Amino acid sequence: MRADPSAQRRLLDLAHIDTELVQLRHAGEHLPENQQLSALQTKRLALSERITEAETRRGDAQAEVDRVEKDLNPAKERLARNEKRVHSGEINSERALKGITDEIEHLKGRVSDLEDIELEAMDRVDAAAREHGEFTAQRTEIENQMRALLTQRDDAKAGLQTKRDQLQRERGEITDVLPEDLVKLYDHVAEHTGNTGAAELRAKRCGGCGLEIDSAELHRIAAEGVDVVLRCDECGRILVRTSQSGV
């Protein structure tokens, strides 16, 4: 293929733009906000599990309080009735009085035991409620951080997209004035390399892959017409000759 040397040199501008586009794409795929969001999401999920566990403990403890109260209230009421009967003097039978006083002592022990169990369960309710509140507050703070990061990430993406759009416009301005077959070759090579389709032949090296051109090949290149489109044997890029090429 042949192309005007000035058109070939414009390929270097195209390659520069494509390099920037690749860098922008890489930056978009590796935004620091994404890593931070991932780390925060892991913490948020862990806190959600702890919140659920605290809620379960609180529910279990509250259920125990409720069960104890179902036994405790009737025991207190029966104790109060028995004590009232004893204090009223209405019981004349010594045997009956002894039976009631024995029951009173039993009920007092029963009430004391149940109150201890109730207090312990209520303490567990309070502790679980405190943990639930603390974990919920921590999760809320993390969610606030995540929302702020999402905004930053959206702004970063928008900024990158603005740069990409500008570069694409500049790229189009270049390709519009270059020979169609030259652009087609460049794009084909760029697709193969995953980056650029052309590089400067500078100081006897390919600016794309860094391959040093041997003397025989340099002599062959020097003998070619300036409009001949050269290719690197290593990476396949179009080699663009300049005053710095060393040939």
Segment 117-132, tens digit of pLDDT: 999 999 999 999 999 9
List Cβ neighbours of 122 (8 Å cut-off, separation of 6 or more).
61, 65
The pTM of the full predicted model, rounded to 2 decimals, is 0.72
Dist CA 85 CA 100 (whole Å) = 9
- Write out pLDDT tens, residues 149-185: 999 999 999 999 999 999 999 999 999 999 999 999 9
